[in-house]
Amino acid sequence: MSIFWGLLLTVAAYFIGNMDFAYLIIKRAFNEDIRNYGSGNAGTTNVLRTWGMKYATPVFLMDALKGAIVILAAKQLVAHGILNPYWLTAAGVAVICGHNWPVLLNYKGGKGTATSIGVMLTLDWKVALIAMAVGLLFLAVFRMMSLTSIVGMITLPIVEIILYGPIMTPQLLLTIFLACSTVFQHRSNIKRIMNGTESKVGQKVDVKKEQEDQDE
């Protein structure tokens, strides 16, 4: 019976992850596909660069919320003895995969940072806040959102080990996955960082020009 509930939770988590709010909000507001603009990514940073903070803020909050909801549900099922704690890891992995590779959007979604933050703040706020603080320090110095995401997520398993020891727990497994998936999703950003061509905070995409280019 626990396997049934675990699989149900994992599948539900994946499809909750498919609710890409960058895509949904921009589609609702402008009848445009955010993936046709800027970096082509359906996430907070691309919305910020194209349509600004007004739309990026709700995108970030809603994408983080869906990660939090999944982990809250998983924690309740684990607390009541319905599921093994490793199903919590599966649920966290599933919601991130649903966001990054959504079947409902032809597997072209976001990079998972906001959803990962929601997952970790709900799972262990201490680990999450320390990693976020490290990421924000890099943001203040280098002004690159991609580098902030990469450093923050890589910091998660390091902080986990420092606080709780090198024991392979479901939580440590999840932090390792979050770090690896973030690096993988930002591989093109890493190349641009190394080449010195990565965009910095404050740089805007000219949406009108891109629309005109598409019309030509």
Taking 60 as the threshold, does the pLDDT of residue 212 lie above it?
no
> Is residue 121 domain-resident?
yes
> Is residue 161 domain-resident?
yes
Query: Which pLDDT tens digit goes with each residue over 33-85?
Result: 999 999 899 999 999 999 999 999 999 999 999 999 999 999 999 999 999 99
How many domains does the chain contain in total? Answer: 1
**Interacting residues of 28 by C-beta distance below 8 A, sequence separation 6+:** none
Domain that holds residue 49: 2-204
Candidates 49, 21, 103, 43; CA nearest to 35 is 43
- Give the whole-angstrom CA distance, residue 70 versus residue 63: 11
**Binning pLDDT at 50, 70 and 90, where does residue 2 land?**
confident
Mean pLDDT taken over the chain: 94
DSSP for residue 108: -
> Is residue 213 domain-resident?
no
> Is residue 209 domain-resident?
no
- 142 CB neighbour count, 10 Å cutoff: 16
> Is residue 101 domain-resident?
yes
